[in-house]
Chains A and B, each alone.
Chain A
Amino acid sequence: MSAALWQILQIALALALAPGLTGLVRWLKAVLQGRGGPSLLQPYRDLYRLLRKEPVVSEDSSWLFRLAPYGCFLAVLLAAAIVPTFTTHLTLVHAADLIALVALLGIARFLTALAGMDAGTAFGGLGASREMMIASLAEPAMLMVTFSLSLLAGSTLPANIVGFVLGGGIGLEVSMGLALAALTMVAIAETGRIPIDNPATHLELTMVHEAMVLEYSGRHLALMEATGMLRLWLFASLILCLFLPWGIALPGGGFLAILLGLVTYVVKLAGIAVALAVFETSIAKMRLFRVADFLGGALLLALLGTIFLYVSEAV
């Protein structure tokens, strides 16, 4: 019974905090650049404004264009529901594992890319082709991280990995460090942050994710924007849950444990936002074709992590 309650709370938390996280990163970056920065509430206001606006849909687009925002949003929301944030005592936590999570994100990306090409504009196609190039490199790296962790913890379920780490199953593990580095690089690519993509750019020709959603407006755009915010929240939460799970309440923990889990989670999330803002401010966007090197590096790190596991076992 309480698992269902916490599950609902988890989804509400995702919806409530995702725009806030984006807002916090934007505000921190602005402050670091010496600007005043928009209010933390601005993403909420933007979504509210867009939701009330009538969407304008190109005559040349098909049903796919109108369906994609809902599909993307639901897929990412579902993925967000299975990542333990403050407790592992969730209904859906045993329903889907990390591989399913990669698949859900893949569905969202697939729909976005199709929608980008649907209206037939040059930028949509440009963005879709770039997104697919990035995805084809990011997904193997992400899966390799999953394998590395599941070999270590004996399970691909995030909740089990959390339990394993919290249960003192590992000490200082090289594989964990390599997997963390790889997942962070994948997360940067998947969420379209600098140096892979610039979420704040107005330059059509350099866009990746933004180019695909250029044709969207009104509530469709609101859903696409919300999907992007959720994705950032999801990857931040995933890194926290897999590598910094301390504070997460395990099943059987009382109400106090849940409360502690909530508080530590929000603090950790703010920490990630600071780290992201500092990183993004201190680096320029990389040349598009360097992305392959970057994600190739992520794949290599994750692969090394897996190999190290076998090596340490053999020794």
Chain B
Amino acid sequence: MITGKTTLLHYLSFSRPVAAHQPWPRFVLDEAAWRGLVAELAVEDWDVLGLWADGNEIHCALRDEETGEIAVASHSCTDRRFASLSQVRPGVLRLERAVADLYGLQAAGNPDGRPWLDHGRWGVTHPLALARRPPPPAPYAYSFLPVEGEGLHQIPVGPVHAGIIEPGHFRFHCAGETVVRLEERLGWVHRGLEGALIGKPVAQAAKLVGRVSGDSTVAYAIAFARAVEAASGAEAPARAHWLRALMAELERIANHIFDFGAICNDAAFALMLGECSVLREEILRICESCFGHRLMMDAVVPGGVACDLTAEGAALLQDMLARLRPRFEELVELYDNSPSLLDRTVGTGVCTPALARQFGATGFVGRASGRAVDARRLPGYPPYDQMELPVPVRQDGDVNARIWIRIEEIRASLDLIGRILSQMPPGPLHTPIPTRGGEGMALVEGFRGEILVWVRLSQVGRIVRCHPRDPSWFQWPLLEAAIEGNIVADFPLCNKSFNCSYAGVDL
């Protein structure tokens, strides 16, 4: 079956396509074709963009790195089992564990049979499966991967931390100060979002998806809106696209600036956090006066946007651009001229390009390790297709590289905002979503990386199934790899430079 160089669509074209899946095709693979897909993945440069279940069906979103083709492969599980992709795409491992927890579909060949999201405290087992099961009598005992050797000791950290951050458990195996292995255990803030989405009207579902990860609310809202628009065949008006991009870039800048300060703060360089917090606060306040909400929650809705940018708002933004740029450049200079700070960031927490590629990392984690992927450019969506968009890439993969990617993205986004403000066309803001069934998928660049949302609508326009996939799924495992061989005291610095979302993967 393995033929060497095949394109993704060519391979899938032998299977049955599904009508009404937009904008990319979906194919239903039989047992042999699914196994063949696993074999093809071992030799082809196809990225797995996501893996989720629906009833007894398993879906896998794929992208051909060479041709840029995107497609979804689906497979009906017999006996509630499917061939695992984790051996050829290790980034999928936790997605498969999550599918097993939520749907009870087992990935045959996945070496890790431990539950992921389900800690045994839900009151039900397989909550989204066609046949639910009663809960276990006691919470699951979780065994961390064993590490053997002389003089090793464990340090358990979290899920409750000394600072006010999201909950996650980190288990360090150390030899003295050196980390031999880090293992993450997440799932502490599982909210049952995917279950809550089922059966909701589109407008209500949009609000839920906008809260998957609060710091990326605009990107999630855009991704959901685009998926719904694709599924229902609606096209948002031109001005709405431009306003969405404006909000997305504002969100990106606010988050990147805060990360920049917070990473420096973890090296006890508190001055940077103070300065960056002021800049972020100014941006958030302007967002509030322009769009009515500091984080611009619910400003993007399926079919368009909920509020327009007034002339005063545009003037505020222009004014902010003029003030922000020089102040930000001063901070960049301060960073670049602080040897004590660079001593901490350069060479710390290296994630190799090979690993980033293997795990399909996107966003600043991927771009700092040589992956020039950006959903705004490929597959691209309006209005970015009408603008030149630089994609900064570095090869070092250390904390310093991830800081510089952020710095360059902030610069690029400031330019983009300026261009959006000058080129934004007038016009309506919203088109109604027609009430009809269908399936849609969208890929949107949030500040962390590519956010994927897949949605299936019923004939009456309600959500049958919606799956939001956070970019952090493919970044959390890389943090484990990046910290290896570093010292325990450098973990906060590495962790902050990845800044993965807990809520986004806990769902």
Contacts and interface: CB of A to CB of B under 8 A. Distances in A.
B392 to A, nearest CB: 24
B264 A205 contact: no
B487 interface: yes
A206 interface: yes
Nearest to A123: B155
B293 interface: no
A32 B156 CA distance: 36
B275 A287 contact: no
A87 interface: no
Nearest to A201: B268
Interface in A173-210: 194-195, 198, 200-206
Interface string A271-315: 000000000011111111110000000000000000000000000
Contacts, number: 82
Given A284-B340, A286-B340, A287-B490, A200 B270 contact: yes
Given A126-B155, A194-B268, A201-B268, A288 B489 contact: yes
Given A214-B162, A289-B487, 6 more contacts: A33-B275, A205-B488, A205-B489, A284-B340, A288-B177, A288-B490
Contacts of A284: 264, 267-269, 338, 340-341, 343-344
21 contacts: A32-B271, A33-B271, A122-B154, A122-B156, A122-B157, A126-B488, A202-B162, A203-B163, A205-B155, A206-B266, A206-B489, A281-B270, A282-B271, A283-B340, A284-B269, A284-B343, A285-B268, A285-B269, A285-B344, A287-B343, A287-B490
B268 A198 contact: yes
Contacts of A288: 177, 487, 489-490
A109 interface: no
A167 interface: no
Nearest to A208: B489
Interface in B143-160: 153-157
Interface in B458-507: 487-492
Contacts of A203: 162-163, 266, 492
Contact of A34 (B162, B274, B492): B274
B161 interface: yes
Nearest to B348: A287
A52 interface: no
Contacts of B43: none
Contacts of B156: 122
Nearest to A125: B153
A282 B338 CA distance: 8
Nearest to A287: B344
B343 A205 contact: no
B278 interface: yes
Contacts of B338: 283-284
A34 B278 contact: yes
A231 interface: no
Interface string B334-376: 0000101101100000000000000000000000000000000
B350 to A, nearest CB: 15
A205 B156 CA distance: 10
A180 B487 CA distance: 32
Contact of A205 (B157, B268, B344): B157
A195 B340 CA distance: 9
Interface in B421-452: none
Contacts of B488: 126, 205
B415 to A, nearest CB: 27
A202 B271 contact: no
Contacts of A126: 155, 488
A192 to B, nearest CB: 11
Given A33-B270, A204-B161, A204-B162, A289 B177 contact: yes
A29 interface: yes
Contacts of B157: 122, 204-205
B134 to A, nearest CB: 35
Nearest to B347: A287
Contacts of B270: 29, 33, 200, 281
A281 B271 contact: yes
A139 B163 CA distance: 32
Interface in A115-140: 122-123, 126, 130
